[in-house]
Structure 1
Amino acid sequence: MITSFYIYAAALIVFGLLFVVFPFIRKEKAVKTSPNANALRISDYESRLDELKQEVDTGKLSDDAYNTAVIEQKQALLQELAPEQQLSQRGNRSVIALTASMFTLTFCAVFYLMTGSFNLLTQWQQAKDNLPELGKRAVLQQGEPLSNNEMQQLALGLRTKLAEQGDDEMAWLLLGRIMLMLNDFEAANMSFDKALAMNPNSVNALVSKAQVLMLEGSESSMNQAAKAVSQVLKLEPSNTDALSMLALIAYERGDWQQSLAAFELILGRMSTTNPSYAMLSARVEELKAKVAEQSNTSKQNSLGQGRSVAVNITLSDELKDKLPRNGVLFVFAKAESGPPMPLAVVKKSQWQLPLQVTLSESDAMVAGMSFAEFKRVKVVARVSNDDKVDTQAGELEGQTKGFDIEQVNQVELTIDTLL
Structure 2
Amino acid sequence: MQALTEEALKADANEVTSLGLLGIAGFEDGRFTDAIGYWERLIAVLPQDDPSRAALQGGIDRAREKLAEKGEAQSEPETFTKSMPQLKVRVDLAASLKDKVQPDDAVFIFARAAEGPPMPLAVKRLTVKELPAEVLLSDADAMMPQLKISNFAQVQLVARISREGNAKAGEWIGRSAPLSSAVQEQQRLTIDSPDQP
TM-score range, shorter chain: 0.5 to 0.7
Contact 2:157/2:176 (CA < 8 Å) preserved in 1?
A: yes
Contact 1:263/1:284 (CA < 8 Å) preserved in 2?
A: no
Corresponding residue for residue 57 of structure 2: none
1:182-225 Cα distance to aligned partner (Å, 9 max, x none) = xxxxxxxxxxxxxxxxxxxxxxxxxxxxxxxxxxxxxxxxxxxx
Corresponding residue for residue 97 of structure 2: 319
1:4-60 Cα distance to aligned partner (Å, 9 max, x none) = xxxxxxxxxxxxxxxxxxxxxxxxxxxxxxxxxxxxxxxxxxxxxxxxxxxxxxxxx
Corresponding residue for residue 336 of structure 1: 114
Query: Quick one: structure 1 residues 377 and 268, their matched pair in 2 at CA, closer, same or farther if it must change by over 3 Å?
Result: closer
**Partner of 1:322: helix, strand, or coil?**
coil
Corresponding residue for residue 133 of structure 2: 355
In the TM superposition, what are the counterparts of 1:277-316 in structure 2 within 5 Å? 285-286=21-22, 289=26, 292=34, 302-305=79-82, 306-316=84-94
Structure 1 unmatched ranges of 5 or more: 1-250, 252-258, 271-280
Structure 2 unmatched ranges of 5 or more: 38-66
Give 1:300 shift: 6.9
One-letter code aligned to 2:34: A
Corresponding residue for residue 172 of structure 1: none
* Moved segments of 4+, more than 6 Å: none
Looking at secondary structure, tell me which structure has more helix per residue.
1
Query: Quick one: structure 1 residues 283 and 311, their matched pair in 2 at CA, closer, same or farther if it must change by over 3 Å?
Result: closer
- 1:401 matched to 2:177? The reply is yes
Structure 2: how far apart are the matches of 1:312 and 1:282?
A: 35
CA RMSD across the alignment: 3.7
Structure 2: how far apart are the matches of 1:268 and 1:368?
A: 11
Query: Quick one: structure 1 residues 332 and 379, their matched pair in 2 at CA, closer, same or farther if it must change by over 3 Å?
Result: same
Structure 1: how far apart are the matches of 2:174 and 2:18?
A: 37
TM-score by length of 1: 0.30
1:132-180 Cα distance to aligned partner (Å, 9 max, x none) = xxxxxxxxxxxxxxxxxxxxxxxxxxxxxxxxxxxxxxxxxxxxxxxxx
Give 1:282 shift: 5.4
One-letter code aligned to 2:101: L
Looking at secondary structure, tell me which structure has more strand per residue.
2
Give the number of equivalent residue pairs.
Answer: 149
Query: Quick one: structure 1 residues 409 and 385, their matched pair in 2 at CA, closer, same or farther if it must change by over 3 Å?
Result: same
Give 1:344 shift: 0.8
Same amino acid, percent of matched pairs = 27
Contact 1:329/1:351 (CA < 8 Å) preserved in 2?
A: no
